[in-house]
Each structure stands twice: as structure tokens, then as C-alpha cells.
Amino acid sequence: MRIVSLKTANQQFAKLVKEVERGEGFMITRRGHPVAKLIPHSPDKTADPDWATAYRRMMKRLDEGASLGRLKVKREDIYDR
């Protein structure tokens, strides 16, 4: 991640956005101290149907619990919820 001053970011914003579109990220500083990041947008993974299916499957398994021989352990038992 490259570091740019706030002044440079202000003056070259359009150029920086083009670089962000290509995958580059920037740390913007004011007087040498980090104040913001300019990074590529990542899509919301929860909108992905494959992710949502895997998440539901995982939560079902957590709710059903794991069998450890005669002992059955559920998520609620582990975390006292």
C-alpha cells in the first residue's frame, strides 16, 4: 500500500482512483499521520449464493452439535448462550 499526503491525494484524486480501480491501495496521511485508506471496493460476500448456502450449512451443523462418542456437544453448551 502506497502512502500519499492529503495534499497529493487532493490534487491527484482522479489519478489515484484509476489506480485503485486497477487494484492499488493508498494510505492517506496528514502531517505524516495516517488518516484514511483508499482501497478497491470488495463486493458483499453475503450476496453470493454459494457463500450463503455454505453459511446456512455451517450454521445448521453448529446448531445440531458434534457427536463425541456418547457426549453430544452443542454450540450453546460451549458458549453458555
What's 2-38's CATH class? alpha beta
What pLDDT, on a 0 to 100 scale, did the predictor assign at position 47?
A: 80
What pLDDT, on a 0 to 100 scale, did the predictor assign at position 70?
A: 72
Helix (H), strand (E), coil (C) string for the chain: CEEEEHHHHHHCHHHHHHHHHCCCCEEEEECCEEEEEECCCCCCHHHCHHHHHHHHHHHHHHHHCEEECCEEECHHHHHCC
Domain ranges (residues) in the chain = 2-38, 45-79
Alpha carbon distance 33, 19 (integer Å): 22
What pLDDT, on a 0 to 100 scale, did the predictor assign at position 62?
A: 77
Per-residue pLDDT of the chain (81 residues; tens, 9 = 90+): 899 999 999 999 999 999 999 999 999 999 999 999 999 988 888 888 898 899 998 888 877 776 667 777 776 766 765
